[in-house]
Structure 1
C-alpha cells in the first residue's frame, strides 16, 4: 500500500498539469473568439456611408410638402418623445452640432471593434449594445457614487428608443458611457459617451445628462415635473377643467431684483470662490454656499430649483465639469449670468450671449464685471426682459424639451454608427454550440439591479 503512493503523487501532478494546460488553451481560445465572433465588419455599399449632414433627411413615405407643412409647437409636441427624424431636424436645427462634429472627426478613421474593446469599463462606466432598437446591458461596472445617474441615463435612452414605431430601422451599435461628471482619459483608449466635454476631448461623444430623468440626490424630481413647476411660477397655473386661475404667474418685472446662487464651493473653488467674492455684501446678491454633508445647512440654504425662477438674475457656474443645474435655470423666465464655459453640453450650440437674440449674459471668468453688469440690467429692464424671454423661447419651449432630448439620443445612435466599421453581435457561441447572449435586456436588467 505504501509503495504505491509515489505513483499516485505522479498521477496527481500530471492531472494538475493537464488541467492547467487545458485551462490555458480554453482561455486562449476564448480570447481569440472574443476578437472575431463578437462583431462583424460592415460591408461597404454605394451610398451606404453618408457623412453627417444638417440637412433634413426624409423618412419613407414622407414628402417635401408634408415636411414644409409641419411645425414644432411646444404645447403639442414638447413632451412627444416619438418625433420622426425629419421632425427632429425641423424642430431643433441647432441641436446636433456636437454629434456631427464628433462624427466628422472619425469619418476618415472609423471606430473599430478592437479600439472599443481596448477601453476598459472602469468604475462609473457601462457597456451597452443596441440591437434592432432594443437596449442591452453588457457590462455595468461598480458605481460608487453614480449608480442613480447610470440608471437614469439608461432609462432615458430606453425611452427614446421605444418612442418611435420604426426603431428596428436604427443601426446596431456597441458603446461605452460614463456616469461620472466627465471622462477621465478623454484622448485615448477608444470612444466614450459623456455628459460633458472640452474642446480637446476628441474621443468624447456628448449625451444628455441624467437630470432629464431625475436627480434625487439634490432633491430635484422628474424633469417633466420640474418643468411644470417652473412654468407655474412664470406663467401661473390654471384649472384644466374650467380654465380658472389657480395661481397667477410672476411678471418678469415683479421678480426679486437679485442674483441667486446656491451650491457647493468644493467642486470648483476657483470659479465659485470668485463669484462669492464679487457678490459679497452686495444688496443685489443672494449667494450662499451649501454644505451637502450638513442636514441643518441644507435645510436653511437649499432653494428648490423652481424657486430660483422667482429671482430676476440666475448665476451659473461650472463644477468639476458641467453644472447639472444649468438646464433648469435656462427653463426660467430670468436672466442667466455665466462665466465663459469650458465644458460643453448637448444644448450649448443654442446659447447666444450678445445681440438682439441673446438668451444669457456672459461675464468675465473672475466675475470682475459682474456688479457693473447687474447695475446695467437693473437700469435697463426692457433689455433684461428680452434676454429672459429669449431664454424661454429658445430653451424651455424648444431645445430643452423632453422631445429634444429623445431626438438627440436617436441621432447620437445614428451618427455614432455611421463612423463605426463594425456591427456588434448580440449572441456569442458557447463551447457546446449554443447561442449565449452577451447582454441582458434592459427591462430584465432593471428588475434585478
Structure 2
C-alpha cells in the first residue's frame, strides 16, 4: 500500500505549535472549566472563513464573513533573536520607559522591515517609505539586511529598542504585521496609514488623522479605500493614541515636524497608548481572551454527532482513535500515520 507523507516547513510547524501551546496554557489555568468544542485555526497571513486567524479585514464590503481573531503567536514566542516573547519584551520596555523621559528619546521616526513585503492593497508601501526617509535627519528608516536564512539581520533593532525613539512607523505585511503589539507598549507615537487588517487588540486604537494637523493639505487620491468606512470613529487631541497618515507617506515628514513643534500633543498620544495597551498585552489578558474566544466559538460551532456527541468523546476519547493527547503531540509534532 502506497503512503504519502506531508512535510511541514519548520517555521509553519513552530507557529502552529505556539498557538496550541497558548491554548493549552489558557485552558489549564482557567479558573473554571471551558466548554468542549472543535475548532479550526489558520496561521497564514490571509484569514480563512469559519476559522480562527491572527487578523481579519476591516473592509465592510466583505459580507457574511465569519472570522475569529486569536492572539498573535508571539505571546508564546517569536523565535528570532531581536524579538522573542511578548512578556519578555514588555519587561525590557518597562525598564526603557522608566529610564527615558520623552525629551531624552531619539527625535526620529524609526522603522525596520523587509522592503518587498507589502500589503495587498498598497504594494508600494514599504519602498515608498524607505525612499521618503532616505538621508533625512528626522528618519532612521531602513530595510532589514537579512542574514543566516532570515534568522537575523545586520541592521536589526531589538524590539524593545524601538521605544527609545519618539516616533515609530508601522507598516502592514501582506495583511497584518505582528510587530504592532510590541510598538503599542511604547510611550512613543505610532505613525501608520490606516490599517486594513485588525488584530485582537487593535479595536482599542483611537486614531487621529494627520489631516487634523495639516488641514490645508490635499488628501492623496491614489488609493481606493474609503477610510471613513473602515475607521468611522476619529478622536480629538485629548483622546487619540495613534496617528494615521497618508498611505503614500506624503505627509509623514510634515506630521513629524508638527509633533516636534507641539511636544505636548505628541507626549499625550504616546502616554495614552502605553497606558492602555500594556494592560491588554499582559499574560493574564491574553489567557482571558483565549477563554472568551473558546466560550464564544463553542456557542455557535458545537458539532452534532449522530452517535452520541460529546458523551461518546468523553467516554472513549483518544482511545477510540479520534485524536491524541496534547502532551504527546507537543513532543512529536505529528499525529500517527495510521
For the criterion TM > 0.5, the same-fold answer is yes
> Is 1:196 the equivalent of 2:78?
no
Counterpart of 2:256 in structure 1 is 374
Contact in 2 for aligned 1:193/1:206 (Cα 8 Å)? yes
Match of 1:394 among 264, 276, 291: 276
Cα distance in 1 between the residues matched to 2:297 and 2:332: 29
Q: Which residues in structure 2 correspond to 1:13-412 (within 5 Å)?
A: 142-143=8-9, 145-167=11-33, 170-183=34-47, 186-187=48-49, 191-198=50-57, 199=59, 200=62, 202-217=65-80, 219-235=82-98, 249-268=99-118, 269-293=123-147, 298-354=152-208, 355=236, 356-396=238-278, 398-412=279-293
CA contact (8 A) 1:208 1:405 kept: yes
CA-to-partner distance for each residue in 1:91-122, whole Å, 9 max, x for gaps? Answer: xxxxxxxxxxxxxxxxxxxxxxxxxxxxxxxx
- 1:127-153 deviation per Cα after TM superposition (whole angstroms, max 9, x unaligned): xxxxxxxxxxxxxx8345321111111
Deviation at 1:300, TM superposition (A): 3.1
The structural deviation recorded for 1:275 is 1.2
Distance 1:377 1:305, change over 3 A: same
Q: TM-score with structure 2 length normalisation?
A: 0.78
Q: Secondary structure at the match of 2:21?
A: helix
Deviation at 1:298, TM superposition (A): 4.9
CA contact (8 A) 2:80 2:152 kept: no
* RMSD (CA atoms): 2.4
Cα contact 1:253–1:381 (8 A) shared by 2: no
Q: Is the 8 A contact 2:193 2:247 kept in 1?
A: yes
TM-score (norm 1): 0.60
Which blocks of at least 5 consecutive residues in structure 1 are unaligned? 1-122, 124-140, 236-248, 429-433
Name structure 2 gaps, 5 residues minimum. 1-5, 209-235, 334-338
Counterpart CA distance in 2 for 1:359 and 1:419 is 34
State which drifts further: 195-204 or 249-258: 195-204
Structure 1 residue 194 displacement after superposition: 0.6
